[in-house]
Chain A
């Protein structure tokens, strides 16, 4: 595939197999949100599937390309607040879809504090302009999410990688605020 010189290598560095695979079959995706590709998309009712949880939902949208994700988080009422359920609905480029998938794998079941720490680490990775975090502990915690290091070289694509993470942070914040 990489028969077009350096840019081909960059392309492969961005689209690592983990990303392409996750984008093809992303984790945590369920259909519950309205479809922007159709006229007259209606309202949705936000419900928690666990009685001991409070739900929060966040709609993230990138108007330049139409990528969108609605992240639905359910946070336990008891402390330590834990993300008991984390799903999303939406569509977008392979970077955004793969990032949502990896985010769900990392954050579902974690406490809110742990998830927010991951959020900060991932944000820092995406701001690294391809350099990475330079911190083995953080990189180990981020697991598969470190494959997005190559994406951080492309300013136009960072928003794609952050879409789901912003949705996670916002939906969890809404769930906490609703308690």
Chain B
């Protein structure tokens, strides 16, 4: 039996009061809190082995490089990716947004003929199609929408069911022989719904399209295995999986990473550079890691990945399921509507809701006065809010440290919202 009280105890930030109330942090979908071991890992790196990686011949540089690559391997293990030297499938990025932009930029470069023959599989031209879903975070929507504008490709999307799940009943209509890229979220950042990825991947591959997964909201909460899922690329961030900010990861099937042209250019990604001819770039992952990397943060992210695997993803998922069950009781309150699946099936503990007659800003202020942190606004997903006929919503989202009592405290607090604001 996992001791979740002891796990919660590892988070120093949670031991404080806000406005005279114990802090209830229900905003992990925005960013998770960090356990002491992650905080220590970052500080320890600076205290003991800070140096540039993949360069320099001194001992600290060697140790820093080892720590960096060791962290990459831990993160790769978390998501079922290959970490063997020379076969790495995880690229360090500045965050999920940076990883998705890296991909879109690299596809754009391939569309301009860069990267030679091997990169042609990423090239887009007018008549080709890019498909996303309506549940996407702006970080998926915008890089690929802009890529479509740049290349003349057609931008399409998969619609949602009434309760906000990505539809899989009309994939043959949306994903066609002309589709080259499909990018879909694994878990909706507003709805909390886990997408049924398998049929979308199958259909994408059937027509020869690449499948990109936004794994930001899945990796911290459920067991993912990119090989088993068959995805071609995936992006996620460290700071939502109990790691530091400023770091993210891009997974690519090795064969694809080897063919993908670089998107960012500079130091540490080039074998030979010349004044009068094109450079020869390094093999992945270095080809995509131009410039000095956030080494301390990557090392700490590796510690976070290990920490999660030690608890066990199945245990994390089961625990958060109990939180989700409580949060879903929000839907029983008069005038409160849940934006996403109501049943506690194929969903995580991210529950967005609308309070009739009370704007989310006001809900958030009222809730905050009781020391409870939730997100209010459009959560960087405006189209999904339009799907529900709204501009903005309130979102409670669980982490491994939350308790059932905390979820109950939120439900009790939300009960007071409409009476306080006199909502009819």
Contact = CB atoms under 8 A, between A and B. Distances in A.
Contact of B21 (A4, A10, A66, A94): A4
A53 interface: no
Contact of B421 (A20, A157, A160): A20
Nearest to B388: A37
Contacts, number: 82
A44 interface: no
Contacts of A36: 391
Contacts of B390: 37
A151 to B, nearest CB: 10
A129 interface: no
B378 interface: yes
Contacts of A1: 416, 419-420
B377 A38 contact: no
Given A5-B19, A65-B376, 20 more contacts: A1-B416, A7-B370, A10-B19, A10-B369, A15-B420, A23-B421, A38-B386, A39-B386, A65-B377, A66-B378, A66-B391, A67-B359, A67-B361, A68-B391, A92-B359, A93-B362, A94-B362, A95-B362, A157-B365, A160-B361
Given A6-B20, A94-B362, A15 B421 contact: yes
Contacts of B21: 4-5, 7
Contact of A11 (B366, B371, B382): B366
Given A64-B377, A66-B377, A92-B361, A11 B421 contact: no
A39 B386 CA distance: 7
A20 B361 contact: no
A91 interface: yes
A95 B419 CA distance: 17
A37 B361 contact: no
B389 interface: yes
A8 B371 CA distance: 11
Contacts of A5: 19-21
Contacts of B386: 37-39
A14 B368 CA distance: 13
Contacts of A95: 361-362
Interface residues of A, number: 31
A37 B389 contact: yes
A78 interface: no
Contacts of B377: 64-66
A122 to B, nearest CB: 19
A150 to B, nearest CB: 11
B385 interface: yes
A31 interface: no
B356 to A, nearest CB: 13
B136 to A, nearest CB: 15
A179 interface: no
B417 to A, nearest CB: 11
- Residue with the greatest number of chain B CB neighbours at <10 A, chosen from A5, A68, A97: A5
Contacts of A24: 422, 424
Nearest to A94: B362
B369 A11 contact: yes
A66 B392 contact: yes
Nearest to A4: B370
B340 interface: no
Interface in B46-90: none
Contacts of A39: 383, 386
Contacts of B422: 20, 24
B360 interface: yes
A5 B18 CA distance: 11
Given A20-B422, A37-B390, A38-B386, A94 B369 contact: no
A20 B419 CA distance: 12
Interface string A146-158: 0000000010010
B421 A65 contact: no
Interface string A39-83: 100000000000000000000000011111000000000000000
Contacts of A64: 377
- Residue with the greatest number of chain B CB neighbours at <10 A, chosen from A38, A65, A92: A65
Interface in B199-237: none
Contacts of A66: 377-378, 382, 385, 391-392
